[in-house]
């Protein structure tokens, strides 16, 4: 074997089972001006989202903690008991439904036709209201237990934000509650081992999303009115699947995400890193959990670890247990 062929082989192995390289992450630095956050553009001065107690506008609900207020949920079901309506959905997806106003919204994917879509459903009757096709063709590699529509939508009360992996890139689209696509943004490249699953989160004028993969991913904040990328930061290389969460810690809001062998915190408005500590393992799935002024994370594969970190990034405790949820 020649030196040239040996080098080529090593390059293929380094890129992970022969997967070709994706475009490298170009960081976008945001700065805080007198009136707005600026990056590739100016973040729109949008009002904070307001939801009713019966809305469920994002992954794990309005507080991103899985806690629902209001009447207690039923604990027993049958084909007829405590079932108001049923609707057969087209395609296949692991996206959780969200609820905003009178609508239920969910992502799905038709794997035979290679179409990724968002569905709108009447929450009271179960009637399908609309289907908006976002991307077609160019489906990427995914684990057989994953799907091509595994992210959960997020809403600011006026728009729906959908994220999909397609053609080795992560796209974010905004739709009206009536299903009109308002904008679409290619956020960055993605080298798929088992697919994509992270869900976006709305914070002030931004929608924040992460994409961890073995060639080095990113976390980014987009203007929720225009889709402009306000900030984007490189993430460590590693195949991980967890969603970011904005949490109040130490008197300030922090975007916390685990995976790729680290627990990391960022300023949600600018993407500036607050702190980073070694922890969990490469592949994590669960979202951070908050207890007082501590954030608790767990994972995953190939290692196993659960740890608590304080608001300043100091590890409070850790053990060798693992959990893939919530």
pLDDT at 123: 97
Assessment of whether the complete model's pTM goes beyond 0.85: yes
Which tokens belong to 278?
């070694």
Give the model's pLDDT for residue 19: 66
User: Please, which pLDDT band fits residue 262 given cuts at 50, 70 and 90?
Assistant: very high
Whether residue 10 has pLDDT greater than 60? no
pLDDT at 15 over 60: no
Could you say which of 2.40.128.630, 1.10.10.10, 3.40.50.300, 3.40.50.2300 is the CATH number of the domain covering 23-30+38-43+54-64+85-237? 2.40.128.630
Per-residue pLDDT tens digits for 49-62: 889 999 999 999 99
Per-residue pLDDT tens digits for 26-41: 999 996 653 444 444 4
Query: Residue 290 pairs with which residues in a beta bridge?
Result: 295
Give the pLDDT confidence score for residue 40 in this predicted structure. Answer: 47
Fold of the CATH domain 240-326: Thrombin, subunit H (2.40.10)
Quickly tell me which residue has 């237990």 as its tokens.
145
Give the separation between CA 289 and CA 220, rounded to whole angstroms: 21
Instruction: Read off the pLDDT of residues 86-142 as tens digits, 9 standing for 90 and up.
Output: 999 999 999 999 999 999 999 999 999 999 999 999 999 999 999 999 999 999 988
pLDDT digits (tens, 9 = 90+) for 154-185: 999 999 999 999 999 999 999 999 999 999 99
DSSP label at 73?
P
What 3-state class would DSSP assign to 222?
Answer: strand
Per cent of the chain over pLDDT 90 is: 78
Report CA dihedral (119, 123, 124, 129) to the nearest 10 degrees: -20
Sketch the domain layout of the chain as residue ranges: 23-30+38-43+54-64+85-237, 240-326
């Amino acid at each position: 074997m020649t030196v040239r062929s040996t080098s080529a082989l090593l390059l293929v192995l380094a890129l992970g089972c022969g997967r070709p390289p994706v475009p490298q992450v170009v960081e976008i630095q945001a700065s805080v001006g007198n009136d707005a956050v600026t990056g590739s553009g100016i973040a729109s001065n949008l009002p904070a989202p307001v939801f009713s107690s019966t809305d469920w506008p994002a992954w794990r609900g309005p507080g991103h903690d899985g806690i629902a207020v209001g009447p207690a949920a039923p604990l027993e079901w049958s084909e007829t008991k405590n079932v108001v309506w049923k609707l057969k959905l087209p395609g296949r997806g692991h996206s959780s439904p969200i609820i905003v106003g009178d609508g239920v919204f969910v992502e799905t994917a038709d794997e035979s036709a290679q179409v990724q879509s968002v569905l709108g459903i009447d929450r009271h009757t179960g009637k399908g209201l609309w289907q908006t096709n976002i991307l077609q063709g160019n489906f990427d590699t995914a684990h057989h237990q994953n799907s091509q529509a595994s992210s959960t939508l997020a809403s600011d009360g006026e728009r729906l934000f959908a994220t999909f992996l397609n053609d080795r890139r992560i796209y974010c689209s905004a739709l009206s509650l009536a299903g009109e696509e308002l904008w679409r943004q290619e956020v960055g490249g993605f080298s798929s081992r088992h697919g994509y699953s992270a869900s976006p989160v709305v914070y002030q004028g931004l929608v924040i999303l992460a994409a961890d993969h073995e060639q080095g991913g990113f976390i980014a904040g987009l203007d929720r009115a225009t889709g402009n990328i306000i900030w984007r930061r490189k993430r460590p290389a590693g195949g991980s699947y967890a969603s970011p969460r904005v949490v109040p810690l130490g008197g300030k809001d922090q975007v916390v995400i685990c995976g790729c062998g680290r627990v990391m915190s960022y300023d949600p408005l600018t993407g500036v890193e607050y702190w980073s500590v070694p922890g969990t393992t490469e592949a994590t799935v669960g979202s951070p959990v908050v207890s007082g002024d501590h954030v608790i994370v767990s994972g995953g594969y190939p290692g196993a670890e659960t740890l608590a970190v304080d608001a300043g990034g100091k590890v409070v405790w850790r053990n060798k247990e693992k959990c893939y949820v919530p």
